[in-house]
Structure 1
Amino acid sequence: MTDEDTPEPPDTSGTEIGAGLLEQNMGPSSSLAHLYRGEIHRMKFWRERLDRTSNWAITLMAAILTWAFSSRSNPHYIVLLAIITVSIFLLIEARRYRAYDIWRSRVRMLQQNVFALGLDDSKGVVDEEWRRKLSEDYRYPKMKVSLEEALAHRLRRVYTPLFFVLLVAWVFQLTAYTNDTWPEAAAIGHIPGTIVTGIVVAFYAGILVVAYRPRTWHINGEILPSDVTGWDYSRE
């Protein structure tokens, strides 16, 4: 056997691994379909974690309110403890939402630039740099939304109504379950009622600012209230 007939050893450097796997003109290939299915699974897992946090917050809030109004002798600050507890759940859920957005943003990128293009190529891709961005995201995963934006999203979707139910319950207990007048009725031990009321007002002003101040949203693919329009499926 001559040197010309000797087969070249396989490339073990790893530089060719994955080359050609996803060509520029590819459609939803088998490898991409498996990748998409995996991202959907992880997104679903984190979505369920979000729902569990919300369910626990609502359940605990209902239990505290039930006990707070079970007797006129129960102190009003029990409702304030419920506000603190729900705030803790909000922080936990906001952190989970930031992780959930990692997988959801990848899914939306594939839907917008691969599957939507495969169904109708007349409008092209949404982002010309989607391949580079997705590759970079797989190399160096990072959270794409800030904690404040995640808090604003969860406040708008779930927690603002919960907080205002607790506010109404607190005001009702102070006015209907005690013989004292405001602000003396809001006192907690040696803390005057004016200070307690001021803290509550500041807290609620803060969550309103975080939730509803004008901002540029960085959440990819989330349906915001401004995006809800009457889509006509009969139009071309």
Structure 2
Amino acid sequence: MVDEPPDESDQASEPRLGSEITGQSTEMVSILGDAYRGELDRETTWRSRLDQTTTWGVTVVAAILTWAFSSGDNPHYIIIVGMLAVSLFLSIEARRYRDYDIYRSRVRLFQQNLLADALEPSEGLKHEDWRGKLSRDYRTPTLKVSISEALANRLRRIYLPLLAVLLVAWLFRITAFAPNEEPLTTAAIAAVPGVVVVALIALYYITAIVIVLWPRDREAKGEFEEGDPEEWK
């Protein structure tokens, strides 16, 4: 009896990972399980680093506002120092967010294509070439989120409200705390005229708003946002 040659269509089609796991490969289960847990742990670690930066930012803002309004003799520019401090925390958190997104993207690939497909195979894979994409990302890890998108994300979620609080506090400080002086006079810092100070602060806030509102394609991969970045489609 002559064995029939294998069907070429079967050879051409890539086997489903679910059938590989259930049929034969316990080693594959172990490897993928360890990989998923490792990526999830890294994601959690970077998430906690983001939270730490946010906590420091809120703490510094609270301390500066408390001191600025504790006495009328305290200079108003301490609130501007608070704006600069918040900007520093924003830059740190934006860099951390880019690293966080690397591991978040990998975790989502596992969840969307391995776990979801194992639970309900009839729905099909979210990304047909997800193993190839994940393999390439392991070989050559790259940052997937631009610095402008990272800044926009952290401004929108955390730092723009903090900066808004500081702006309102500063405006109140140069007006209500000095009712007998012109606000532009009160806003002066040493030899820097008040007009220049106000103009610089206005430019700073306009820049922050432009960063948030500037239209761009989303690259960050999140589980609660519509759509996925092109790289993972």
Cα displacement (A) at 1:128: 1.6
Match of residue 124 from structure 1 = 124
Cα displacement (A) at 1:190: 1.1
Q: Counterpart of 1:221 in 2: which secondary structure?
A: coil
> 118-127 or 69-78, which moves further after superposition?
118-127
Whole-Å separation in 2 of the counterparts to 1:42 and 1:201: 39
Cα displacement (A) at 1:214: 2.0
Q: What is the root-mean-square deviation in Å for CA atoms of aligned residues?
A: 1.7
**Where does the alignment leave 5 or more consecutive residues of structure 1 unmatched?**
1-21, 228-236
Cα displacement (A) at 1:26: 3.4
Cα displacement (A) at 1:184: 1.5
1:172 aligned onto 2:172: yes
Letter of the 1:101 counterpart? D
Cα displacement (A) at 1:222: 4.5
Match of residue 158 from structure 1 = 158
Match of residue 190 from structure 1 = 191
Number of equivalences? 205
Match of residue 205 from structure 1 = 206
1:71-96 deviation per Cα after TM superposition (whole angstroms, max 9, x unaligned): 10111110000000000000000001
Whole-Å separation in 1 of the counterparts to 2:82 and 2:186: 18
Whole-Å separation in 2 of the counterparts to 1:159 and 1:139: 35
Indicate the percent of aligned positions where both proteins have the same amino acid: 50
1:196-227 deviation per Cα after TM superposition (whole angstroms, max 9, x unaligned): 11111111111111112222100112424x68
1:24-52 deviation per Cα after TM superposition (whole angstroms, max 9, x unaligned): 84348222111101111111011000000
Whole-Å separation in 2 of the counterparts to 1:106 and 1:26: 21
Q: Could you tell me the TM-score, scaled by structure 1's length?
A: 0.83
Cα displacement (A) at 1:154: 0.6
Contact 2:185 2:193 in 1 (8 A): yes
1:215 aligned onto 2:216: yes
Whole-Å separation in 1 of the counterparts to 2:120 and 2:135: 24
Match of residue 97 from structure 2 = 97
